[in-house]
């Protein structure tokens, strides 16, 4: 165990200038200055409040005078063995700021019934530490509400698309029956209208299937596991072999890493990007390159193609559900592929974006947390 004497020991914490002191007391964040409490062997066993400001006292719901001079262990049960104590020591000895996000104070402090959340940051200051409590309840509760309403929306989209399938199947089947029985028997217009009906039903079936697929990114998510991307790409190549052959596509990639991922989703991600790279080709043979490199604590992937490219004004729009830049007749699809890619990447703690030159090709980039 490291002892207090490892850091320059002084008898007192020093005085705070009056102006700084008034700023300290009126800060909108709960701030306290604590000094280490040592045992006979000069080992740190606790921290004690030297100064606390008004906001600190109202956040923890204890009067200022009842805090100053008292030890943290009196308010935090099991403090000596807690992560909070270890982080206080770490900040004190190593000078590295420590952060705890969205802590429910009720669960941290004795006799505290407040339902709110705070970020706790700890930094070293002259011969002691500062403990800063920042109320993030509004932010945290908004996030919670947003997550809940997103889940409800996804569930709603899933149920609606699921329940729409049956009536649509009826429409489609009866339209086909009418066509079979009455084609050429009424008049040309009737044949044409029946044809429109069958096509529309088919299109709607595709849209519903895609919506279901989109909702399933959340509803059928599997845990993230160590996944060898070389095996994943082999499977994608085999699934796309027909269109690779038909379009004479060249796909280049080196050895790919192992990442923490949902294997089915990551396969779908690569499949959507590569099949788009083949589909949105120019008159020359598609040449596609897949790259991966490590950047800090994430993997950065790129899928480059030499296809038709995308104008910068559409860089964001193409990731939105059912947004397409072309007529159905020119390129097949419903416009859900990239929205699914975005959802998958975000579920893996990453981002996805595109860079492109119209008429020369596009590069789709995405990051995945290590
Ligand atoms: P879909 O392929 O069904 O149209 P996506 O969501 O996969 O839907 O793509 C949305 C739109 O983004 C496409 O309609 C196309 O206009 C554009 N796009 C996607 N990938 C590429 C690409 N590699 N090159 C050029 N345009 C692309």
**For range 199-226, the mean pLDDT:** 87
Letter string b/e over residues 301-332, b meaning 16 or more CB atoms within 10 A of that residue's CB = bebbbbbbbbeeeeeeebbebeebeeeeeeee
The residue to mutate among 211, 308, 309, 318, having the most atoms of ligand 1 within 8 angstroms of its beta carbon, is 318
Residue 45: pLDDT above 80?
yes
CA 172 – CA 201 distance, rounded (Å): 6
* pLDDT confidence tier of residue 305, bands split at 50, 70 and 90: very high
pLDDT of amino acid 12: 47
pLDDT of amino acid 9: 41
Distance 164 CA to ligand 1 centre (A): 26
Chain length of the chain: 370
Weakest mean pLDDT among 145-159, 308-322, 329-343: 145-159
Residue 337: pLDDT above 90?
yes
Ligand 1 touching residue 325 (CB < 6 A): yes
pLDDT of amino acid 15: 63
pLDDT of amino acid 30: 92
Ligand 1 touching residue 89 (CB < 6 A): no
**For range 305-318, the mean pLDDT:** 94
Reference 303, options 346, 332, 335, 338; nearest CA is: 338
Reference 56, options 27, 78, 77; nearest CA is: 27
* pLDDT confidence tier of residue 14, bands split at 50, 70 and 90: low
CA 84 – CA 132 distance, rounded (Å): 12
pLDDT of amino acid 5: 52
pLDDT of amino acid 10: 38
Ligand 1 touching residue 210 (CB < 6 A): no
**For range 276-303, the mean pLDDT:** 94
Residue 242: pLDDT above 60?
yes
Residue 248: pLDDT above 50?
yes
Q: What is the pLDDT of residues 67-84, one digit of tens each?
A: 999 999 999 999 999 999
Residue 144: pLDDT above 90?
no
Distance 323 CA to ligand 1 centre (A): 9
Ligand 1 touching residue 326 (CB < 6 A): yes
Percent of the chain with pLDDT over 70: 95
CA 169 – CA 149 distance, rounded (Å): 30
**For range 101-130, the mean pLDDT:** 87
Q: What is the pLDDT of residues 339-354, one digit of tens each?
A: 999 999 999 999 999 9
Question: Mean pLDDT over all residues of the chain?
Answer: 88
Ligand 1 touching residue 120 (CB < 6 A): no
More confident of the two residues 85 and 146: 85
Distance 289 CA to ligand 1 centre (A): 17
């Amino acid at each position: 165990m490291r002892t207090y004497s490892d850091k320059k020991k002084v008898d007192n914490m020093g005085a705070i200038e009056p102006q700084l002191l008034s700023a300290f007391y009126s800060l909108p964040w709960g701030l306290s200055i604590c000094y280490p409490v040592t045992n006979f062997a000069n080992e740190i066993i606790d921290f004690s409040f030297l100064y606390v400001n008004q906001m600190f006292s109202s956040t923890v719901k204890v009067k200022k005078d009842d805090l100053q001079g008292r030890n943290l262990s009196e308010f935090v049960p099991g403090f000596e063995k807690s992560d909070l104590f270890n982080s206080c020591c770490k900040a004190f000895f190593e000078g590295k700021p420590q952060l705890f996000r969205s802590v429910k104070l009720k669960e941290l402090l004795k006799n505290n019934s407040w339902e709110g959340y705070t970020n706790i940051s700890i930094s070293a200051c002259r011969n002691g530490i500062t403990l800063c409590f920042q109320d993030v309840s509004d932010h945290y509760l908004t996030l919670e509400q947003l997550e809940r309403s997103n889940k409800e929306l996804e569930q709603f989209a899933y149920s609606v698309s699921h329940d729409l399938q049956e009536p649509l199947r009826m429409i489609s089947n009866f339209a086909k029956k009418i066509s079979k029985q009455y084609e050429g028997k009424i008049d040309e217009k009737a044949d044409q209208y029946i044809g429109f009906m069958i096509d529309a039903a088919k299109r709607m079936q595709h849209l519903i299937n895609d919506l279901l697929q989109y909702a399933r990114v959340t509803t059928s998510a599997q845990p993230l596991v160590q996944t060898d991307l070389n095996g994943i790409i082999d499977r994608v190549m085999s699934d796309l072999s027909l269109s690779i052959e038909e379009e004479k596509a060249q796909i280049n990639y080196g050895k790919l890493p192992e990442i923490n991922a949902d294997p089915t989703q990551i396969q779908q991600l690569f499949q959507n990007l590569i099949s788009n790279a083949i589909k949105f080709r120019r008159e020359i043979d598609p040449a596609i390159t897949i790259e991966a490199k490590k950047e800090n604590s994430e993997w950065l992937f790129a899928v480059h193609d030499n296809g038709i490219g995308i104008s910068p004004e559409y860089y964001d729009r193409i990731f939105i559900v059912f947004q397409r830049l072309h007529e159905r007749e020119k390129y097949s699809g419903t416009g859900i592929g990239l929205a699914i890619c975005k959802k998958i990447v975000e579920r893996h703690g990453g981002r996805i974006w595109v860079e492109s030159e119209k008429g020369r090709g596009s590069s789709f980039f995405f990051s995945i947390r290590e």
